[in-house]
Amino acid sequence: MRKTQYTGGPVENEVIANLAAASRILAERGVVDGFGHVSMRHPGNPDYYLMARAIAPALVTPDDILEYDMESVPCNPGSSKSFLERFIHSEIYKARPDINSIVHSHSPSVVPFGLVDVKMEAMFHNAAFLAAGVPVFDIRDKFGMTDMLVCDCEKGVALAESLGDKDIALMRAHGSVACGPTLQTAVFRAVYTEVNARIQHWSVGLGGGAPLASLEEEEGRLADVPNQTAGMRAWDLWRLQVRDQLGW
């Protein structure tokens, strides 16, 4: 297996191709559009992470993947423009050693749950991890009036504090972050957070605002374990579709 050399150590090319493919998959599933990003911790060195240069997710190729240290400084000086909100990734990685991949998106069905006083609940088993709770990060709480972007370490720390021990956090009037122990799980969770949001909108409409029979916390905990292996079936399909289109 061919490897590419990074500051944190060599990484198999297939890993880099998977990370690039994740951007394309998230775009095809309606989670990201011209904006949004997905990262993964360097598989051989927890003090670095990998993420595409600032480019629309549907256009990412393996050649666009850059390496960052835990201050979100690019390891290759003079490299291409970086995402302004890369501090989301570094500060969550620092706060949560169990998280190895993060998706940040502005997926449209999710945004309303950061605007109104209605909690996102786990509507079905694929979104089981939501049953643990879905915190909302309000950038105003610590920073007052801003451009809404998590564009420095301080704002990244505040977001990571809102996330706490959960794997999802909504960002008021902005979007969300979905996290996981693997790239595949983070992608699965980001996709099914968006789907879950749509189902909750439908369910609230159908029920006329009546209480929802959503997953209880214990059901969510039980269902999230098999999801992390069964979810690979979805990944294998999505990954194959990208490979068929692009050949990598």
Instruction: Please identify every residue annotated as catalytic.
Output: 85
Site string for Zn ion, 21-60 (x = CB under 5 A): ----------------------------------------
- How many residues contact Zn ion, by CB under 5 A? 1
Using the minimum distance from each CB to Zn ion, give the nearer residue, 57 or 231.
57
- Considering the complex, state which of residue 132 and residue 148 has its C-beta at the smaller distance from Zn ion: 148
Residues 61-100 that bind Zn ion (CB under 5 A): 85
| CB of 11 or CB of 178, closer to Zn ion | 178
Residue 54 Cβ, how far from Zn ion at the closest point, in Å?
12
Closest approach, Cβ 106 to Zn ion, in A, equals 6
Q: How far is the CB of 102 from Zn ion (least distance, A)?
A: 12
- Residues 190-219 within binding reach of Zn ion (CB under 5 A): none
Strands in 136-137's sheet, in edge-to-edge order, are 65-69, 48-52, 37-41, 101-105, 175-180, 168-171, 136-137
Q: Is 69 exposed, middle or buried (0-12, 13-18, 19+ CB in 10 A)?
A: middle
Residues that bind Zn ion (CB under 5 A): 85
